[in-house]
């Protein structure tokens, strides 16, 4: 208890449990949406913010601290140096050049790899036991980059991947059926973005398989309708970026849901970017990260689901893996 506090100190004022620390690297639109969602969902005792712009960083940290009277007590620290992240349980990396309207995610690659070379090694050194959650785009390749640069086991390096795409997918199906998106199960897998694969057979509503009844009850629910929904999911990010310049709220909630599963050892299944070599015919030698449904807990990725894919879906996944692997090899890591 600090000097001057009117409460009489007792013999033990030390915390009884280990405190949970989450660091967010990159205090831009996405990083701050993630930080504030983690804060309001009470997932951390300490949040460390890191950014290359000291004034913006201090402004963001103060702005969050000023909400203290309305929230559970969370220590918020910030700094331009990775030392502020020391002993993190979870490090979320959002730093990066922002995707410009019309720019593909793969175009961002070279700009962001150079940043990751500066960011990841010191972060890994300060928190050698942390979970690393990569959000910057192109997220699948940068998850591979973070894995290589950190030296962490693959189980502790995760990309936010298609967790967000799947939420967009569930939202669109839910709107179509007029039910809550939380009761719609539906996976997008593969590469986050342009070549992501919609797994139509995975759609269930309230636990009941939905594709057949959708087709039976909606005369227009044919292949074209399915492809229309897939394209709306893939185009969703571009539409938001075109309208408001960036995306933030949905990725904030998406990452907070991953943080909850990881830090609270929930063992929930999320489509996230994991080391996919060996799954669905992807060559063992291709160390690519792609989204597959994965069971997440305190130790990171606890297991990966082998889905029942159609040959076309598996072939699409292998095509994405091949393209991503070609990109990874160019990096010389
Ligand atoms: P932004 O608002 O430009 O924020 C990026 C931040 O990174 C800025 O504040 C920079 O100052 C900071 N930064 C740059 N260099 C460093 C450095 N060396 N160390 C620390 N911080 C640094 O971009 P925004 O927040 O909109 O997007 C961030 C990244 O998230 C981009 O790569 C997006 O493409 C990606 N997204 C990924 C999504 C996903 O589903 N995986 C979803 C949305 C955005």
* pTM, two decimal places: 0.95
For this complex, say whether ipTM is above 0.90.
yes
Compute the distance between CA of residue 91 and CA of residue 24 in angstroms, rounded to an integer: 6
Listed in sequence order, the residues at least 6 apart from 50 whose beta carbon sits closer than 8 Å to its beta carbon are: 23, 24, 25, 26, 27, 57, 78, 79, 80, 81, 82, 84, 85, 95
Query: Residue whose CA is closest, atom 36 of ligand 1?
Result: 136
Q: What does the pLDDT read at residue 332? A: 82
Instruction: Specify whether the CB–CB gap between 275 and 304 falls below 8 A.
Output: no
Q: What does the pLDDT read at residue 220? A: 67
Using the mean position of ligand 1's atoms as its centre, give its distance from the Cα of residue 132 in Å.
16
Q: What does the pLDDT read at residue 106? A: 65
Task: Please name which of 150, 158, 140 lies closest in space to residue 286, comparing C-alpha atoms.
Answer: 140
Query: Residue whose CA is closest, atom 1 of ligand 1?
Result: 28
Using the mean position of ligand 1's atoms as its centre, give its distance from the Cα of residue 29 in Å.
7
Index of the ligand 1 atom closest to the CA of residue 163: 40
Note down pLDDT in tens along the chain; length 333 residues.
Answer: 577 889 988 877 676 778 999 999 999 999 999 999 999 999 999 999 999 999 999 999 999 999 999 999 999 999 999 999 999 999 999 999 877 777 776 677 888 999 999 999 999 999 999 999 999 999 999 999 999 999 999 999 999 999 999 999 999 989 888 999 999 999 999 999 888 999 988 899 999 988 887 777 766 667 788 888 888 999 998 999 999 999 999 999 999 999 999 999 999 999 999 999 999 999 888 999 999 999 999 999 999 998 989 898 899 999 989 989 998 988 888
Q: What does the pLDDT read at residue 199? A: 92
Q: What does the pLDDT read at residue 224? A: 83
Q: What does the pLDDT read at residue 18? A: 86
Using the mean position of ligand 1's atoms as its centre, give its distance from the Cα of residue 321 in Å.
24
Using the mean position of ligand 1's atoms as its centre, give its distance from the Cα of residue 113 in Å.
13
Index of the ligand 1 atom closest to the CA of residue 247: 43
* Ligand 1 pocket: which of 51, 122, 242 to mutate (most atoms within 8 A of CB): 51
Query: Residue whose CA is closest, atom 38 of ligand 1?
Result: 135
Answer whether 78 contacts ligand 1 (Cβ < 6 A). Answer: no
Within the chain, where are the H helices? 29-40, 54-65, 109-126, 139-150, 163-177, 211-217, 223-244, 249-263, 311-330
């Amino acid at each position: 208890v600090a000097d001057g506090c009117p409460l009489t100190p007792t013999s033990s004022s030390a915390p009884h449990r280990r405190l949970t620390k989450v660091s967010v690297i990159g205090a831009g639109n996405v990083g701050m949406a993630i930080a504030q969602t983690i804060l309001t969902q009470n997932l951390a005792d300490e949040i460390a913010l890191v950014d290359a712009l000291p004034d913006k960083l201090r402004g963001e940290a103060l702005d969050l601290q000023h909400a203290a009277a309305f929230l559970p007590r969370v220590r918020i620290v910030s700094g331009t140096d990775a030392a502020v992240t020391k002993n993190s349980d979870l490090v979320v990396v959002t730093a990066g050049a922002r995707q410009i309207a019309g720019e593909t995610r793969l175009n961002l690659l070279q700009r962001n790899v150079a940043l990751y070379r500066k960011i990841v090694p010191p972060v890994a050194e300060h928190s050698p036991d942390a979970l690393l959650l990569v959000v910057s785009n192109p997220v699948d390749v940068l998850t591979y980059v973070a894995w290589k640069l950190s030296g962490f086991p693959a189980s502790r390096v995760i990309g936010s991947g298609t967790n967000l795409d799947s939420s967009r997918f569930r939202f669109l199906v839910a709107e179509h059926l007029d039910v809550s998106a939380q009761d719609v199960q539906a996976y997008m897998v593969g590469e986050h973005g342009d070549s992501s694969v919609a797994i139509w057979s995975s759609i269930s509503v309230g636990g009941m398989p939905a594709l057949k009844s959708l087709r039976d009850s909606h005369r227009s629910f044919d292949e074209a309708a399915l492809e229309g929904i897939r394209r709306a999911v893939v185009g969703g990010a571009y539409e938001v970026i075109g309208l408001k310049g960036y995306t933030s709220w949905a990725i904030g909630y998406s990452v907070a849901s991953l943080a909850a599963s990881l830090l609270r050892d929930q063992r929930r299944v999320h489509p996230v970017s994991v080391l996919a070599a060996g799954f669905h015919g992807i060559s063992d030698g291709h160390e690519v990260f792609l989204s597959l449904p994965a069971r997440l807990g305190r130790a990171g990725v606890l297991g990966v689901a082998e889905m029942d894919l159609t040959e076309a879906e598996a072939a699409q996944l292998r095509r994405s893996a091949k393209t991503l692997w070609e990109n990874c090899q160019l990096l010389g890591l």
